[in-house]
Amino acid sequence: MKVILRQDVEKVGLRGEVVDVARGFARNFLLPRQLAESATPSRVAELEKVNSHRARHEAQSFEQAQEISQRLGQTELRFDVKAGDAGVLFGSVTATDIADTLWEKHKIRVDRKKVELSDPIKRIGRYEIPIELFADVVVPVRTLVVPEGGELPPEVEEETPPTPEEAEAAPTSEADVEDVAELSEEELEAAIAAAEQPEAPVEEPVGDGEDVPEDAFDRAVDASGNVPADEESQGQN
């Protein structure tokens, strides 16, 4: 059964589209809830006339799309909606809502089917909604979904962490900054040169507990050619 949607219906279509649905779905859900109407020949002809009029205001060339994209880049949409404490909307913001608001408030006509919104917006927040104006011309439109009577919390800019080189070169404390500032140019160059010098090897002292060979003294005497006085006197006796 063919019907004309009067509102955007998720997974079915956008407002104003002629869609073919199951007869039971139309009679038991769409028509009683005023979400659609029967697609009579007269209503379909009227709808085609409206769509043709809309199309004349859309971008017809790459140059027109570029001009519209500049306007869209400076445009911010705002939707004040009813929402719960957790930020969940009592409803949703759809591609049709975005296209209609662009026309009503900014006189910019875009095809609702070219609003790249995979799912309706159901939470408050800030969004960047891509809109395709022409082939290879896509522009993101900043969109605010705000709770009625309130405002969104301020945006928090994330601090960019320093690179490893910047972190290594930066002084670690205020005292380090003051010390570096007080050094003269000659002292600073000398400190840098000293830091670049390779460290001299450190000789390890002989420990007190090391064993000394028993004949070490005799070998030292033989090497020098001197005989201790007490040994020389014993030899004479």
SS3 letters across the chain: CEEEECCCECCCECCCCEEECCHHHHHHHHCCCCCEEECCHHHHHHHHHHHHHHHCCCCCCHHHHHHHHHHHHCCEEEEEECECCCCEEEEEECHHHHHHHHHHHHCCCCCHHHECCCCCEEECEEEEEEEEEECCEEEEEEEEEEECCCCCCCCCCCCCCCCHHHHHHCCCCHHHHHHHHHCCHHHHHHHHHHHHCCCCCCCCCCCCCCCCCCCHHHHHHHHHCCCCHHHHHHHHC
Tens-of-pLDDT digits for all 237 residues of the chain?
Answer: 899 888 888 888 878 888 899 989 999 999 998 888 988 888 888 877 777 766 666 667 778 888 888 888 889 999 999 999 889 999 899 999 998 899 888 888 888 888 998 889 999 999 999 999 888 889 999 999 999 988 888 876 555 566 666 666 655 545 554 554 555 666 767 766 776 666 666 555 555 555 555 565 566 556 555 555 555 445 454
Parse the chain into domains and list their residue ranges. Answer: 2-55, 62-147, 166-192
Superfamily of chain region 2-55: Ribosomal protein L9, N-terminal domain (3.40.5.10)
CATH of 62-147 among 1.10.3210.10, 3.10.430.100, 2.40.50.140, 3.40.50.150: 3.10.430.100
